[in-house]
Every structure is written in structure tokens, then in C-alpha cells.
Amino acid sequence: SSELTQDPAVSVALGQTVRITCQGDSLRMYYATWYQQKPGQAPILVIYGKNNRPSGIPDRFSASDSGNTASLVITGAQAEDEADYYCNSRDKSGEQRVFGGGTKVTVL
């Protein structure tokens, strides 16, 4: 079973804001990284650290964290943001990695 919990699915109207959450005890000690995966493609990193975007990731993607919950926020969602999003972090030991179960984002 996953030590990081995500809602299975969320939907957002085009141009609106959506928050995707990831819960787990290890998030009190470690940041989450966030990945976007479109059908038939490898995941890509969209957020790392406190709130950092790799080159090429639009600034409508941001992150925040509070206690045992990390959040990925898409402000002004676009049709191309429709995808599965996964959080990842370390486990409570800090020695291994664990993924959340993924959240399917639908842009209406």
C-alpha cells in the first residue's frame, strides 16, 4: 500500500484553478516532487523542492505544503493540462522512495 495518498480524480473548468493534494507522514520531513503523465508517455517532472519548476514548465504550475500535505496547483488550467499527476517523496525512513496513487485531472 502507498504511503502517499492522492484523490483518484478531479475536474476543472477551462481557465480555472485546481489543487491536487498528496498526503503522507513523510511529507512533514521531505518535499514532494510532482510528475505529469499523459497517455502513452513517460512522466515528466513539473515541480520539485519547495516550489520549483524545471525549465519549460509553465508558471501556472505551483506547489505548496502544510503539515503532512503537499499540493500541486494549476492556476488557469489549459486543455493540455489534462493528464495523470503523481506525487513522489521519500518514505518515513528517508532511505527509499514512494509514489502516490495518482490523480487524473480532467479539464472541462
Partner 1 sequence: QVQLQESGPGLVKPSEILSLTCNVSGGSVSSERNYWSWIRQPPGKALEWIGYISNTGSTSYNPSHKSRVTMSLDTSKNQFSLKLSTVTVADTAMYFCARDRFGDYLDGFDIWGQGTMVTVSS
CA 15 distance to own-chain centroid = 18
Q: Could you tell me the CA-to-CA distances from 99 to 15, 55, 107 in Å, in that order?
A: 28, 23, 23
Nearer to partner 1, 30 or 76 (CB): 30
Does 76 participate in binding partner 1 (rule CB under 8 A)? no
Nearer to partner 1, 9 or 13 (CB): 9
Alpha-carbon distance of 101 to 98, in angstroms, equals: 10
Does 37 participate in binding partner 1 (rule CB under 8 A)? yes
Does 49 participate in binding partner 1 (rule CB under 8 A)? yes
With CB under 8 A as the contact rule, the residue among 9, 15, 54, 66 that binds partner 1 is: 54
